[in-house]
Structure 1
Amino acid sequence: MLAIEGVSRRFSGKSAVSDVNLDIAAGSFVGVIGRSGAGKSTLLRMLNRLVDPSEGRIGFDGLDVTALRGQALRDWRARCAMIFQQFNLIGRLDVLTNVMMGRLNKISTTNALLQRWSREDRAMALSALEQFDIANLAAQRADSLSGGQQQRVAIARALMQEPSIILADEPIASLDPRNTKVVMDALLRINRHFGITVICNLHSLDLARSYCDRLVGMSAGRIVFDATPEALTASAARELYGLEAGEVMDAEIAPPAAASSGTGWVRPARTAA
């Protein structure tokens, strides 16, 4: 379980996140919602330790995340993978190499600098791409792909880290409706089939209701809503978003793709040496 205890973050004396307390169960799909500037991205970045808390503690299964340094911190960032709105791919490199970057914490510095990947790492990366229907793009430059394809590559790279948690910071903000559904379905399948905890910042309340099993609403850096999607009524949304409520409550979207065990979804596995 991920435990967030009294966590705050201040920038130049201004509070971005204030006294957040949350327990997040393993295997859950949590949507973090709220207006722009509510503190959602700062909260996720603190969980990954890209930003250090000003106060409070983050724990995971007995591990004090806030105390980690050096290699232990790098190990945590691999275990708590981050997916960004801007994809953060290396455009001049091919898709397969971008995906294998998820193994950097597992190989030596020399091999990382020379991009010397083992056969099993390559097989694992191809398997991850197959899961997202983009194995045919493995040899293409990352900057030649559409936004939806690039985000799927970023998710495959995160999966290569063999994470316990995936943090997705507005992963569909720049995507069209079709690619939005493809990416959200991919995150849902990862959550359902692998049991990986997903914590996802979302702007659309309809997406949050459709995909998440728990919603955490933030306003001015504080938690002001924490319940199931069914509890987020129009009235509660208006209290959370004010005049913006109508903008974030979109038209009804298609339901998530089925995530049953019969879909052929398989965790990328290491091959025998």
Structure 2
Amino acid sequence: MLVLERVSRRFGAKTAVGNVDLEIAAGSFVGVIGRSGAGKSTLLRLINRLADPTEGRILWDGVDVTALKGRKLREWRSRCAMIFQQFNLVGRLDVLTNVLMGRLAKVSTTSSVLRLWSEEDKAIALSALEQFDIGALAAQRADSLSGGQQQRVAIARAMVQDPSIILADEPIASLDPRNTKVVMDALLRINKHFGITVLCNLHSLDLAREYCDRLVGMAAGKVVFDGAPAALTADVARDLYGLEAADVIGAEAALDPAVAAIARPAAA
């Protein structure tokens, strides 16, 4: 279980995340929702220790993640895989090598620098690519792929880390609708088939409702909603998204009067 206790992160006078308390059960698929600047990305970076909390503690199965250093911290980052909005692939390298980068924590420094990957590591990487129907792209340069293909490579790289939890930071923000579905289906399959916890930042309320077991809504760095997707009321959605409500709900509002109520401004 992932536990956040009164976690805050300040940048000068600005509070990006403020006094967040959360418990994320192992094996769950949790969507973190809210408008841009709500603190969603900072929250995930704190969990992975790409940024350190100003206050509070983060625990995984009782281990204080915020106290980890050196090798223990590297091990945690391997178990807590990140998937980024902009893929973070090395474009000039082939797809297979990019995926093998996810094995860095499991090989020696010399082997990683010289790219002396074992046959076992290569087999693991190829298997991950095959799971996402991109095994045939293994020899291609990463920067020759479409956005959806690159994001699937990034997911395969995360999988070969053998993670306990995957943190996905707006993984479909730059993708078209078809590739959005492919990537979200891949994350859902990872969650359901392998039992890996997924914590996914999403701007679209429609997608969050479709894929997530639970939603955590953030506004101005604070958690203002935590519950099942069906429990998200119109008032809470307006608090989360403000004037952006109609955009994030999308076409669904035109079909469902209950959803349309979320997009309408509150009566004066």
Q: Secondary structure of the residue that 2:27 maps to in structure 1?
A: coil
* Counterpart-to-counterpart distance in 2, 1:251 and 1:155: 28
Unpaired segments ≥5 residues, structure 2: 253-268
Query: Which aligned pairs between 1:1-273 and structure 2 lie closer than 5 A?
Result: 1-252=1-252
1:41 aligned partner, one-letter code: S
Relative to 1, partners in 2 of residues 1:108 and 1:9: Cα closer, same or farther, differing over 3 Å?
Answer: same
Instruction: Indicate the residue corresponding to 1:261 in structure 2.
Output: none
1:112 aligned partner, one-letter code: S
1:18 aligned partner, one-letter code: G
Q: Secondary structure of the residue that 1:166 maps to in structure 2?
A: strand
> Identity across aligned pairs (percent)?
78
Q: Secondary structure of the residue that 1:188 maps to in structure 2?
A: helix
CA offsets 1:186-230 (integer angstroms, 9 cap, x no match) = 000000000000000000000000000000000000000001011
Instruction: Indicate the residue corresponding to 1:262 in structure 2.
Output: none
2:136 aligned partner, one-letter code: N
TM-score under structure 1 normalisation? 0.91
CA offsets 1:135-191 (integer angstroms, 9 cap, x no match) = 000000000000000000000000000000000000000000000000000000000
2:32 aligned partner, one-letter code: V
Q: Secondary structure of the residue that 2:163 maps to in structure 1?
A: coil
* Counterpart-to-counterpart distance in 2, 1:86 and 1:62: 32
Instruction: Indicate the residue corresponding to 1:263 in structure 2.
Output: none
Q: Secondary structure of the residue that 1:22 maps to in structure 2?
A: strand
Q: Once the 2 structures are TM-superposed, how far is the Cα of residue 78 of structure 1 from its aligned partner?
A: 0.3
Q: Secondary structure of the residue that 2:116 maps to in structure 1?
A: coil
TM-score under structure 2 normalisation? 0.93
Q: Once the 2 structures are TM-superposed, how far is the Cα of residue 55 of structure 1 from its aligned partner?
A: 0.2
Q: Secondary structure of the residue that 1:225 maps to in structure 2?
A: strand
Q: Once the 2 structures are TM-superposed, how far is the Cα of residue 234 of structure 1 from its aligned partner?
A: 3.2
Q: Once the 2 structures are TM-superposed, how far is the Cα of residue 240 of structure 1 from its aligned partner?
A: 1.7
Unpaired segments ≥5 residues, structure 1: 253-273
Q: Once the 2 structures are TM-superposed, how far is the Cα of residue 13 of structure 1 from its aligned partner?
A: 2.3
Which 4+ runs in 1 deviate beyond 3 A? none
Q: Once the 2 structures are TM-superposed, how far is the Cα of residue 12 of structure 1 from its aligned partner?
A: 1.4
**Quick check: 2:219–2:239 contact (8 Å CA) kept in 1?**
no
* Counterpart-to-counterpart distance in 2, 1:212 and 1:7: 23
1:152 aligned partner, one-letter code: R
Instruction: Indicate the residue corresponding to 2:264 in structure 1.
Output: none
1:42 aligned partner, one-letter code: T
